[in-house]
A and B are shown apart, each in its own frame.
Chain A
Amino acid sequence: QQQVKQSPQSLIVQKGGISIINCAYENTAFDYFPWYQQFPGKGPALLIAIRPDVSEKKEGRFTISFNKSAKQFSLHIMDSQPGDSATYFCAASNNYQLIWGAGTKLIIKP
């Protein structure tokens, strides 16, 4: 019940395309859903986050879509750029403890 399932494991998208990464959770007590971005050799850094009282949050080219009834949320990267190539982690939090997805390695082909 504490798991966060993330898919796909890896993703290749053409420059300018839309990248979509999906996550699903079971624990309805989770109240905060962040996405972290990690470049090789670096630690993860917060990209965007959402709380379950809204269905969508947009920051620039990055959008989180949240479906509370389905217990799913996704990250959409519009107009994907080579600089977006990184590993993306979804997570879910209850009382400030993050449970992490397994990660998606995203490659944007020029």
Chain B
Amino acid sequence: NAGVTQTPKFQVLKTGQSMTLQCAQDMNHNSMYWYRQDPGMGLRLIYYSASEGTTDKGEVPNGYNVSRLNKREFSLRLESAAPSQTSVYFCASRYGGQETQYFGPGTRLLVL
């Protein structure tokens, strides 16, 4: 099992450009999450999907959109990137009824 995979690993964007971060899990988990990690701020939830077909906003959703494509895949889209979105983005998944979240390796995004 690959667990949680994320692509790309690293990306540089110019202000105003758009991009989609991809996440997939092969653990048959119901719930999936997108976080951003900034120095000194821990992880902040952007969006989550409790199950296939549902998505909900987290703590910091502005400037982002998500799509739960199927049970395996959960993508995060930046429509018009801003320097404030420079961060490390983590995708995580969780099996229903269990607390443990399993994280991908992260995508490092730099917006110039």
Contact = CB atoms under 8 A, between A and B. Distances in A.
Interface stretch (A56-64, A66-74, A100-108): A100-108
B42 A103 contact: yes
A93 B42 CA distance: 15
B41 A96 contact: no
Contacts of A44: 43, 90, 103
B4 A43 contact: yes
Given A89-B42, A102-B41, A43 B99 contact: no
Contacts of A41: 105-106
Interface of B is mostly: strand
A14 interface: no
Interface residues of B, number: 20
B68 interface: no
B29 to A, nearest CB: 12
A43 B92 contact: yes
A43 B40 contact: no
B101 interface: yes
B99 A93 contact: yes
Q: How large, as a class, is the contact surface on chain A?
A: 20 to 34
A44 B88 CA distance: 12
Contacts of A46: 100-101
B99 A96 contact: yes
B82 interface: no
B104 interface: yes
Contacts of B48: 97
Interface in A23-51: 32, 34, 41-46, 49
A97 B4 contact: no
A9 to B, nearest CB: 7
B11 to A, nearest CB: 15
Identify the interface centre among A43, A46, A101: most chain B CB within 10 Å of its CB: A43
A91 to B, nearest CB: 8
A100 B35 CA distance: 11
B78 interface: no
B2 to A, nearest CB: 13
